[in-house]
Chains A and B, each alone.
Chain A
Amino acid sequence: MSAEAALEPPPPSLADRLNPEGAPAQPLPIAVARLALIGAPNCGKTALFNALTGARQKVANYAGVTVERKEGAITAADGWRARVLDLPGTYSLRARSPDEVVTRDAVLGRLQGEAPPDVLVCIADATNLKGALRLVLELKQVGRPMVLALNMFDIAERQGWRIDLEGLSRELGVPVVTTVATRKRGVDALLAAVQGVARGPAARSSEVVWREPGPVELRTAHREAERIRKACVALPARPDTLTGKLDSVLLHPVFGSVILLGLLFLMFQAVFTWAQPLMDLIKAGFDHLGVLVGQTFPPGLLRSLISEGVISGVGSVLVFLPQILILFLFIIVLEDLGYMARAAFLMDRVMGGAGLHGRAFIPLLSSFACAIPGVMGARVIDNKRDRLTTILVAPLMTCSARIPVYTLIISAFIPNRTVWGVASLQGLVMFGLYAAGIVSALSVGFVIRKLFWRGAAEPFLMELPAYKLPDPKNVLMGVWTRAKIFLTRAGTVILAMMVLIWFLSSTPSAPPGALGPAINYSFAGLLGHAMEPLLAPIGFTWQMAVALVPAMAAREVAVAALGTVYAVQGGEDAVGPLAGVLHAHWSMASALAMLAWFIFAPQCASTLGVVKRETNSWKWPAIMFAYMTALAYAAAFLTFHIARAAGA
């Protein structure tokens, strides 16, 4: 905690403090240098950041943009202190994605609300120096003090690369150190080199010169990098042959796709089966808490707010934490392995057919757990239009919050019998709902591309990194960072939303002696009744309409809301009796229409909130809400009328 507090006050820049002319009269605080880590994706930058700062990290967003800002504190053995900024990975300063723009502007000192770094630490994968040398040459133009860290040096040694460190340092004009971030090797040497350049004379160039290189400059940089590489690096005696061998299986047109499907299957199993015990535990915990509050507080508005608004509201979202953690565990492990680029390669043609980028595959996959990580994950896509398309279709993927709703309606209306000898009819309907989600996401992507953003397809151009064993500690830290982001959101935005929806569902309270459940008399009830004429053409009763209001908090709240509306005691635990009640009250056509509605409806206020944050405008959540509602209405309308015509 104290380490984080120490990060708060922005210290004067090191350059100012070293400036003899402008030296202030009062004694200076202990010098805190600002370091910025910069490097290509997959160079082990985050691992080095973790090795440097340990748990002393703070994750937030850069001012005004939704790019993750990771900062940490270092205190060297001699008391020297520094703040380290882990900049988003980039191959060059010619930024294209919002993340790369942040990196460029931070390096150039143009980033709003961010003091320019005193020392740049450029990190290179020691086994893949060519591209890194070009980045170093480009960064040199910026004129800030810089240190080059050759990371993953153990792998380079094992492969027998011979790198002339002194020669490299002489050619580049910057200190060069070797590091093995995962084992914290070379961290002290790196810090010593950083201190050396920070105290050096070069620490004072306030006017930064850099301009975007054109093709001619790029070719010159290539030649220069190649010259330096030839002069200082001898090709490895035992080059990495494993990556090639693995790729011939994992990128094989047939086996590669089969393995990818197998991995996806495993991932789904993990997300939906392994998470279950933990989810039950969390749910039981919140239920227990609710009961405790019920016993402690006298009946009334306050008790209702705490137990129904706060506890069950936040609990209904927090229950997804295990799924989100398992999902991110898979994603981070596969990413660190180097497999995600292969998955994008294998899926590019399929995604491309729908007007989506190969990289949209991962965000859309995440959306099966929850659209929120999916929308956030779309950041990996450089092109703005491709990113927006991905964000707009992500909520169509069947998120796990729909499962309780689907399960309830299916168990109430779909007979549990076996078809074609093997498959269960209920299972088939569930599968059909998932398939409908996927097909609709791809179709909407296709329509957006064809109708609105014609032409201008972003090229699919990406590095396939060498395979590496993920470092367990870094994986866990990555998962923990995600967990913190999710928990923060559940504690702020989602909590506020839940309280609002609780308010709508519980006020005004039912008059004394009123018949029927209290929600009928609330704003939500009024809204439900008001919406009834609108929803009647798609076969929804007013009870269904009322349930849709609190379901804006999270889709699965619809189950509890239906329980409330039909005055079934026990809420979500009472799926059995509730299914019976629904069976008695709804027609088959209405039930199917409800299923169709939930495939498309934007029934999740938090997703809309995240879309607003990610796109920095209310325009896109509004568009998302409009198109999804229209689709949901149309789908439910068609389903209802076709089912009724068929006699259901």
Chain B
Amino acid sequence: MLKRLQDSPVRSTLAAPVHMSGGVAPLGWGARGFRGVVTSVGAGGATRGASGLESSELERRLLEIGFVEGARIEILHEGALGGDPIAVRIDDARVALRRREADSVLVQVEAGRLRPRRNLAA
């Protein structure tokens, strides 16, 4: 059982897809098919200021486009280069966003796996 991954150093060393069932992970880490329920939006911890916006502004934008606690989400598609951006189903709407912003959405994972992302620790 994986614990809150954004607090763990495992993020920078993930070398292979990690299969998940349960646990909380940032949306930005998911691979195609990753789905679950949003537990927190704009937590900030996962972004480390990577996004150009103030965290409160990003939080509001994510909320406005439909990422809200309790929403059911699934990663539908990944971009061709580096799997970025991602297309996400939120309840019955579809939204595209970059992983950097998706990192601010924490998800109670129901199924799916994480993508290896080695270059993000920098």
CB–CB B97/A215 < 8 A: no
Check B63 against A462 for contact (C-beta < 8 Å). Answer: no
The residues of A that contact B94 with a CB separation of less than 8 Å are 243, 247, 463-466
- Chain A residues with CB under 8 Å of B78's CB are 253
Q: In the complex, which residue of chain A has the Cβ closest to the Cβ of B65?
A: A461
Q: Which of B47-100 touch A at CB < 8 Å?
A: 51-53, 56, 58-66, 68-69, 76-82, 84-85, 87, 91-98, 100
The reply to whether A94 and B64 form a contact with Cβ atoms under 8 Å apart is yes
Which residues of chain A from 420 to 472 have a CB within 8 Å of any chain B CB?
Answer: 455-466
User: In the docked arrangement, what's the CA distance between A345 and B77, Å?
Assistant: 10
- Chain A CB within 8 A of B42 CB: yes
Query: B80 to A254, Cβ gap below 8 A?
Result: yes
**Distance A358 CA – B82 CA, assembled complex (angstroms):** 15
| A462: contacting residue among B60, B80, B96, B100, CB under 8 A | B96
Report A-chain residues with C-beta under 8 Å of the C-beta of B93. Answer: 128, 130-131, 463
Quote the shortest CB–CB distance from B53 to chain A (angstroms).
Answer: 6
Max count, chain A CB within 10 A of own CB: residue among B80, B82, B101 = B80
A348-B79, A349-B81, A350-B81 known; A461+B91 contact, CB < 8 A = no
Indicate if the CB atoms of B92 and A239 lie closer than 8 Å. Answer: yes
Give the residues in chain A near B62, CB-CB below 8 Å.
461
* Chain A CB within 10 A, most for which of B91, B96, B97: B96
Q: Nearest chain-B residue to A463 (Cβ)?
A: B95
Write out, one digit per residue, whether chain B residues 24-47 have a CB within 8 A of any chain A CB (1) or not (0). 000000000000000000100000
- Contact in complex: A345, B85 (CB < 8 Å): yes
- When distances are taken between beta carbons in the complex, the residues of chain B under 8 Å from A130 are 66, 91-93
B63-A459 in contact (CB<8A): no
For the complex formed, measure the closest distance between the CB of A240 and the CB atoms of chain B, giving whole angstroms: 9
For residue A341, CB closer than 8 A to chain B, the reply is: yes
Tell me if A464 and B87 are in contact (CB < 8 A). yes
Chain A 233-269, CB-CB to B under 8 Å as 1, else 0, gives 0010001000110011001111011000000000000
**Contact across chains for B60 and A218 when beta carbons are under 8 A apart:** yes
CB pair B87–A247 under 8 Å, yes or no, is yes
In the bound complex, what is the Cα–Cα distance between A183 and B101 (angstroms)?
A: 40
Q: Does A283 contact B (CB under 8 A)?
A: no
Within 8 A of B (CB), among A57-115: 91-92, 94
CB-CB < 8 A to A256: which residues of B? 80
Q: Does A346 contact B (CB under 8 A)?
A: yes
Contact between B80 and A253, CB atoms less than 8 A apart: yes
How far, in Å, is B97 (CB) from chain A's closest CB?
A: 5
- Interface size of B by CB at 8 A reads 36
Given A91-B65, A349-B80, also A459-B95 (CB < 8 A): no
Q: Which residue in A218, A244, A346, A460 is a CB contact (below 8 Å) of B98?
A: A460
Chain A window 21-60, contacts with chain B (Cβ cutoff 8 Å), 1 for yes, 0 for no = 0000000000000000000000000000000000000000
Q: How far is the CA of A314 from the CA of B54 in the complex (A)?
A: 49
Q: Are A461 and B95 in contact (CB under 8 A)?
A: yes
Name the CB-closest residue of A to B85: A348
Contacts of B84 in A (CB 8 A): 348-349
The answer, yes or no, to whether A222 is at the interface (CB within 8 Å) is: yes
CB <8 Å contact, A215 and B60: yes
The one of B65, B69, B77, B95 that contacts A251, using a Cβ cutoff of 8 Å: B77
A349 B51 Cβ-Cβ under 8 A: no
Q: Which residues does chain A contribute within 8 Å of B69, judged by CB atoms? A: 219
Shortest distance from the beta carbon of A334 to any chain B beta carbon, whole Å: 16
Nearest Cβ on chain A to B38's Cβ, whole angstroms? 11
Q: Please give the distance in Å from B93's CB to the nearest CB on chain A.
A: 6
A300 within 8 A of B: no
Residue contact B52 to A459, C-beta cutoff 8 Å: yes
| Partner among B53, B59, B87 whose Cβ is within 8 Å of the Cβ of A215 | B59
Minimum CB–CB distance for A512 against chain B, Å: 67
Known: A456-B52, A463-B93. A348 touches B98 (CB 8 A): yes
Specify which chain B residues have a CB less than 8 angstroms from the CB of A346 in the assembled complex: 79-80
Judge whether B96 and A257 touch: CB under 8 Å.
no
- Contact call B96/A345, Cβ cutoff below 8 A: yes
In the bound assembly, the distance between CA atoms of A243 and B93 in angstroms comes to 11
> Which of the listed residues A92, A219, A461 has the most CB atoms from chain B within 10 Å of its own CB?
A461
Q: How far is the CB of B44 from chain A (nearest CB, A)?
A: 11
Q: Which of A94, A460, A465 contacts B101 (CB 8 A)?
A: A460
Give chain B residues whose Cβ lies under 8 Å from the Cβ of A466.
Answer: 94
Assess whether A214 is interfacial by the CB under 8 Å rule. yes
Rounded to whole angstroms, the CA-CA distance of A458 and B76 in the bound complex is 23
A352 to B91, CA, bound (A): 28
Q: In the assembly, what is the distance between CA of A214 and CA of B61, in Å? A: 10
The CA-CA distance from A257 to B51 in the complex, in Å, is: 26
Q: Which residues of B contact A91 (CB under 8 A)?
A: 64-65
Within 8 A of B (CB), among A189-225: 213-215, 218-219, 222
- Chain B residues positioned under 8 Å from A456 (CB to CB): 52-53
Q: How far is the CA of A317 from the CA of B82 in the complex (A)?
A: 43
Set of chain B residues within 8 Å of A235, measured between Cβ atoms = 92
Task: Give a binary string over A338-356; 1 marks a CB under 8 Å from any B CB, 0 the rest.
Answer: 0001001110111010000
Besides A251-B77, A345-B77, A459-B53, 11 more A-B contacts (Cβ < 8 Å) are A94-B64, A130-B66, A130-B91, A235-B92, A248-B77, A251-B76, A346-B80, A348-B96, A456-B53, A460-B96, A460-B98
Could you list 8 examples of A-B contacts with CB < 8 Å? A215-B56, A218-B60, A239-B92, A348-B79, A349-B80, A455-B52, A463-B93, A466-B94
Give me the interface of A with B, judged by CB distance under 8 Å: 91-92, 94, 128, 130-131, 134, 213-215, 218-219, 222, 235, 239, 243-244, 247-248, 251-254, 256-257, 341, 344-346, 348-350, 352, 358, 455-466
Sorted nearest first, the 6 A-B pairs with minimum C-beta distance are A253-B80, A464-B94, A456-B52, A457-B52, A251-B77, A218-B63
